[in-house]
C-alpha cells in the first residue's frame, strides 16, 4: 500500500511540474487595446502619416525623437536602408523581445516610424501595432523607394513616384472612353498584334517536336 | 483523486477569457505576413468575366469616386462606414469571396484588417487597387518579343478583358473577331498533321 501511494504522489508531482512548466513557457498575452471603431477613426484621421520630407529633416537633427523601423527582410535591409533605422521584419514584429523594444520606445515617448519599400508594406503592421496599444507608432508615406529617390539617389533619371498612392493616378472614366473610341475606330489594329506572336511561337515548336 | 484535482486545476488555468469573435494579434499578423489575402487584378478580372456568383466586390472609396468609375457589380461601402452594423450580414455570409478595393491598396487593407480581426472569412484585397487595374487591364503593356510565352498569354487575356471592360468596344466589332480566331485555329491543325 505504501509503495502504491508513493508512486501516486510521484506521478502527481510530475504532472504538476509539467503544468507549471507549460504555464511559464507560455507567451505573455498580447491583447487589443483599441476597438475596431477606434482604430478606424485613428486611421481616417491620417494623423499617423509621416511625410517623407519630414523624415529627411528629422534625420539631420540628431536629437529628434524618432526611431525608424525597417520592416523589410534582413536581405533588403543589408542592401540599403535609411540611416539609424532598426531592422524588424514584419513577420517577427510580435516576438517577445521585439515587442518589448517597441513598448519601451513607446513608453519613452519616442515616435516610432515604420517603413517598407512602399507605404503598403508598413500599412498593416502599423494598424496592428496601433491596435495592440502602441500609441506613438506612425507610418512613412512613400516608403524606402521614395526616400532612396530623394536622399540616396537624387540624380536618378526616373521620376519620383507619387507617395500619395490613394489618389487616383488616372481619370478612370475618361480612360474607358479613350479605349472605347480607339477600338471603335480601328478594331483591326489591336487584333493582329495579339495573335501574331502566338502564331509564330507555335509553328516553331511543332517543327522542333517532329 | 489528487491527479483529477490537479488536472482540473490545470484545465482551469488554461482556459482563456478571450473574446471569442476576435482572432489574436499573432494570428492577425500571420494572416497578412504571407500576402495571401491579396488577389491580383488579373484574377479579379477573370472572376468578373466568368460571372463568378461567389464574388462580392466592395469599393471602399467615397461615393463620388464610386459614381465616377468602379468595377462592374461592385458595392460601395466607404471606409468610414465599413464597421456599420448594417453591413455585417454581407461579411458574415461565408459563401462569398469578398474583395475590397480602393485606388491603391492602403484603404482596402485597412478595411480588411479591421474585419479580419473580427474573424470574418474569405476576405481579400485587390493588389494595387484601381491604379494598378488601369495599367494592367485597361492599358496592358505590350510584351517584348523576348518575353516568355506566359507573358503573351497574359497579354492576350488582358486585351480580351480590356474589350470586356471597355464598354462600347464589344458592340463596335463583334462580327470580325470570331472569324479571325477561326482562321488561326485551322492553320495550327493542318501544320501539326503534316509534321507527323
pLDDT tens string A50-109: 888 888 777 777 666 889 999 999 999 999 898 889 999 999 999 999 999 999 999 988
What would the pLDDT profile of B155-165 be if each residue is shown by its tens digit?
999 988 888 88
Side-chain-side CA neighbours of B67 within 13 Å: the count stands at: 3
Q: Cell for A169?
A: 493616378
Q: Which residues in B lie closer than 8 A to residue A184 (C-beta atoms)?
A: 168-169, 172-173
The β-bridge relationship of strands B55-59 and B75-76 is parallel
What is d(CA B105, CA B45) in angstroms, rounded to the nearest whole number?
16
- Across the interface, whether the CB atoms of B166 and A11 are under 8 A apart is answered no
Give yes or no for B177 touching A (CB within 8 A).
yes
How many domains, chain A?
1
Point out the residue among B10, B29, B107 whose CB comes nearest to the CB of A166: B107
> Is A41 a member of any domain?
yes
CATH at A57: 3.40.250.10
Beta strand spans in chain B (E): 38-39, 55-59, 75-76, 97-101, 123-126
Range of the domain at A53: 36-152
Q: How would you write the pLDDT of chain B (196 residues) with one tens digit per residue? A: 666 666 666 565 554 444 568 899 999 999 998 889 999 999 999 999 999 999 999 999 999 999 999 999 999 999 999 999 999 888 888 889 999 999 999 999 999 999 999 999 899 999 999 999 998 988 888 998 888 999 999 999 998 888 888 743 433 333 334 444 444 455 555 555 555 5
Q: Measured between CA atoms, how close is B195 to chain A, in angstroms?
A: 6
**Which of A58, A108, A106 is closest to A85 using CA atoms?**
A58
Kindly state whether residue A202 falls inside one of the protein's structural domains: no
ipTM: 0.74
Shortest CA distance from A170: residue in chain B: B131
Instruction: Determine, yes or no, domain membership for A49.
Output: yes
Tell me the shortest Cα–Cα distance from A62 to chain B, in angstroms. 31
Q: How far is B95 from chain A (nearest CA, A)?
A: 24
pLDDT at A196 over 50: no
What lies within 8 Å, CB to CB, of A8 at 6+ separation is B2, B3
Give the β-pairing of B123-126 and B97-101: parallel
DSSP state of A90: G
Give me the CATH code for the B18-135 domain, please: 3.40.250.10
Structure-block grid coordinates of residue A69: 523601423
pLDDT in tens, A135-174: 999 999 988 988 888 776 767 666 777 788 888 888 888 8
> Does the residue A180 lie in any domain?
no
Q: Report residue A131 as a C-alpha cell.
A: 491596435
Which residues from B are below 8 Å from A173, CB to CB? 68-69
Residues of chain B in contact with residue A34, where contact means CB-CB under 8 angstroms, are: none
Cell reading at A149: 529617390
Look at residue A57 and tell me if it is in a domain: yes
Domain ranges of chain B: 18-135
Q: Looking at beta carbons, which residues of chain A come within 8 Å of B163?
A: 183
Angle at B103 between CA B160 and CA B113, to 5 degrees: 110
Distance, CA of A67 to CA of A60 (rounded, Å): 13
Burial B9-41 (b: 16+ CB within 10 A, else e): ebeeeeeeeeeeebbbbeebbebbbeeebbbeb
Q: What is the pLDDT of residue B71?
A: 92
- Cβ-in-10-Å burial (0-12, 13-18, 19+) of A162 comes to middle
- Is this prediction's pTM over 0.80? no
**How far A49 CA lies from chain B's nearest CA (Å)?**
12
Across the A:B interface, residue pairs with CB atoms under 8 Å apart total: 171
Residue A120 lies in a domain: yes
How far, in Å, CA of B54 to CA of B36, rounded?
A: 18
Amino acid at each position: 500500500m505504501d509503495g502504491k501511494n508513493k508512486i501516486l504522489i510521484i506521478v502527481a508531482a510530475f504532472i504538476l511540474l509539467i503544468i507549471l512548466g507549460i504555464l511559464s513557457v507560455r507567451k505573455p498575452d498580447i491583447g487589443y487595446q483599441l476597438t475596431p471603431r477606434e482604430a478606424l477613426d485613428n486611421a481616417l484621421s491620417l494623423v499617423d502619416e509621416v511625410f517623407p520630407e519630414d523624415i529627411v529633416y528629422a534625420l539631420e537633427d540628431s536629437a529628434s525623437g524618432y526611431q525608424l523601423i525597417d520592416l523589410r527582410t534582413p536581405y533588403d535591409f543589408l542592401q540599403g536602408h535609411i540611416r539609424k533605422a532598426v531592422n524588424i521584419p514584419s513577420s517577427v514584429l510580435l516576438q517577445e523581445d521585439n515587442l518589448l523594444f517597441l513598448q519601451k520606445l513607446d513608453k519613452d515617448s519616442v515616435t516610432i516610424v515604420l517603413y517598407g519599400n512602399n507605404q503598403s508594406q508598413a500599412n498593416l503592421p502599423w494598424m496592428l501595432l496601433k491596435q495592440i496599444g502602441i500609441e506613438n507608432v506612425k507610418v512613412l508615406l512613400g516608403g524606402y523607394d521614395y526616400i532612396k529617390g530623394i536622399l540616396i539617389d537624387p540624380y536618378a533619371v526616373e521620376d519620383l513616384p507619387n507617395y500619395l498612392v490613394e489618389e487616383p493616378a488616372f481619370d478612370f472614366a475618361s480612360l474607358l472612353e479613350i479605349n472605347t473610341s480607339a477600338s471603335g475606330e480601328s478594331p483591326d489594329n489591336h487584333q493582329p498584334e495579339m495573335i501574331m506572336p502566338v502564331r509564330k511561337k507555335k509553328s516553331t515548336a511543332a517543327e522542333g517536336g517532329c | 483523486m489528487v491527479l483529477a484535482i490537479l488536472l482540473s486545476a490545470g484545465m482551469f488555468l488554461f482556459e482563456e477569457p478571450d473574446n471569442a469573435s476576435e482572432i489574436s494579434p499573432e494570428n492577425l499578423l500571420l494572416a497578412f505576413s504571407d500576402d495571401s489575402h491579396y488577389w491580383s487584378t488579373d484574377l479579379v478580372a477573370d472572376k468578373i468575366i466568368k460571372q463568378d456568383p461567389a464574388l462580392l466586390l466592395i469599393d471602399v472609396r467615397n461615393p463620388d469616386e464610386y459614381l465616377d468609375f468602379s468595377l462592374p457589380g461592385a458595392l460601395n461601402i466607404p471606409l468610414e462606414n465599413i464597421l456599420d452594423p448594417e453591413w455585417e450580414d454581407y461579411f458574415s455570409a461565408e459563401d462569398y469571396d469578398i474583395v475590397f478595393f480602393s485606388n491603391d491598396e492602403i484603404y482596402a487593407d485597412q478595411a480588411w484588417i479591421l474585419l479580419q480581426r473580427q474573424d470574418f472569412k474569405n476576405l481579400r484585397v485587390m493588389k494595387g487597387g484601381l491604379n494598378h487595374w488601369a495599367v494592367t487591364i485597361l492599358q496592358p503593356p505590350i510584351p517584348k518579343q523576348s518575353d516568355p510565352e506566359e507573358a503573351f498569354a497574359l497579354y492576350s487575356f488582358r486585351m480580351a478583358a480590356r474589350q470586356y471592360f471597355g464598354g462600347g468596344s464589344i458592340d463596335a466589332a463583334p462580327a470580325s473577331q470570331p472569324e479571325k480566331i477561326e482562321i488561326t485555329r485551322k492553320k495550327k491543325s493542318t501544320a501539326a498533321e503534316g509534321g507527323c
